[in-house]
């Protein structure tokens, strides 16, 4: 369970860092609320990255812990760190690159987010059915 809990903690830290990035961009741009929808605007990209992490972070926290509580196979504990890496890469793809066109970080992060979520959910179902 240690690796699972560490993965959950890392996802929480990522969420906080992305929120801090939004705050720092708001200060830099002197914008107290809202933002433009310009894909090149750093504040907009920060908001999008934070919003996306808000959507998937809680889901993965639950899936990672429940998978371990459901006695998923021993190798599945490494899915937690894989999720952290994928979510960090996805956030980098949003924050560091224009949103006008896809990039490898963003596309790979999104693809592996779906794969890992389905794999964890499937493992939970499989483990509880067996």
33-64 per-position pLDDT tens digit: 888 888 899 999 999 999 999 999 999 999 99
- Which has more pLDDT, 76 or 22? 22
Can you give the pLDDT at residue 119?
96
Third-level CATH fold of 2-129: 1.20.120
User: What percent of the chain has pLDDT above 70?
Assistant: 99
- Spatial CB neighbours of 102, under 8 Å, sequence gap ≥ 6: none
Between the alpha carbon of residue 48 and those of residues 2, 5, 68, 73, 78, the distances in Å are 31, 26, 30, 35, 28
Whether residue 129 has pLDDT greater than 90 = no
What's the rounded mean pLDDT across residues 102-129? Answer: 95
Torsion (CA) 79, 116, 62, 2 in degrees, nearest 10? 10
What is the pTM for the complete model shown? 0.92
Residue in this structure with the two tokens 């963003």, named with its chain if needed = 106
Indicate the domain borders of the chain: 2-129
- Spatial CB neighbours of 7, under 8 Å, sequence gap ≥ 6: 64, 80, 81, 83, 84
Can you give the pLDDT at residue 73?
85
């Amino acid at each position: 369970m240690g690796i699972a809990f560490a993965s959950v903690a890392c996802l929480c830290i990522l969420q906080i860092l992305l929120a801090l990035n939004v705050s720092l961009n708001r200060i830099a741009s002197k914008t107290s609320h809202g933002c433009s929808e310009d894909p090149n605007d750093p504040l907009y990209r920060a908001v999008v990255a934070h919003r996306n992490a808000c959507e998937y972070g809680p889901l993965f926290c639950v899936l990672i812990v429940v998978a371990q509580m459901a006695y998923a196979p021993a190798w599945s504990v490494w899915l937690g760190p894989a999720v952290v890496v994928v979510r960090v890469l996805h956030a980098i793809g949003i924050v560091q690159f224009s949103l006008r066109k896809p990039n490898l970080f963003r596309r790979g992060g999104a693809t592996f987010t779906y794969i890992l979520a389905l794999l964890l959910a499937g493992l939970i179902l499989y483990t509880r059915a067996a």
